[in-house]
Amino acid sequence: SWHLWGSLLALQVLAYNRHTYETVAQQLIITIIPAPGGEPPYQGEFLVGNRNVEELLPAAAQENFLQATAGVWDQDDLHIINITSALDRGGRVPLPIEGRKEGVYVKVGSHGAFSPCLASAASPQSRFRCSLGQQPLASCYDTFAPHFTIRWCNLTLLQVWPSPTAPGPVWGSGVLEEGGDFQPPTEVLPRDLLPGYLVTLLVPLAVAALLCLLLGHLMCCRREGV
């Protein structure tokens, strides 16, 4: 859970041991500082199949991943935007055999354009090959191997453009200008609610009376021998 106060974020982290199922909670206070260059317009999300999310949280592991990403992106201003477990995206819990991993989605941003290698891997032709169970198109050397196994069929490339900010309200002096008259809102005309009340009350009573008469006729006048 988290709470936001201005530029401070209070984040409560709840973790559990996957072997003993013991839990521990810790509250973190994070100061939110806008990025100096703004949000990067070019963002790529990679699915790392041979890692769990906790294995990519250390700074050293993230630095190694950025170095591998720079080899296929051809940019130097890369930085990690988000790290998400594949289980949070609908992935299945792996079987506890052969050291299988959950998988991690890593989103990387840059102010430089995508390389031809990434563009070809995310092209419609590459998507079509993936739908047929074939290898996607990749025109460059995979610098992620052998440390990171990238599921290239799950590569997502996004171009995020800054949205124009709407102008804020213009505050006046708070004093009515000379010659201006205050126009109160139009008064609502009174409504006659009696007909609706009578219909709501009398119609159910009439139906109930008819049902009582019909039931009385059937029980009293339709008896055998009467």
**If you average pLDDT over residues 128-139, what whole number do you get?**
84
Instruction: Please report the DSSP string for 20-54 in residue order.
Output: T--EEEEEEEEE----TT-S-SEEEEEEETT--GG
**If you average pLDDT over residues 132-141, what whole number do you get?**
82
Domains and CATH numbers, the chain: 40-159 (3.30.70)
Q: State phi, psi for 32 to the nearest 5 degrees.
A: -90, 120
Residue 224: pLDDT over 60: yes
For the segment 58-104, what is each residue's pLDDT rounded down to a tens digit? Answer: 999 999 999 999 999 988 889 999 999 998 888 887 777 777 888 99
Q: 3-class DSSP state for residue 170?
A: coil
Q: 3-class DSSP state for residue 116?
A: helix
**Diameter over CA atoms, the chain:** 104
Confidence at 1, pLDDT banded by 50, 70, 90: very low
Residues 6+ apart with CB under 8 A from 51: 101, 103, 104, 148
Which of 25-29, 44-48, 93-97 is the most confident on average? 44-48
Lowest mean pLDDT among 42-51, 65-74, 138-147, 163-172: 163-172
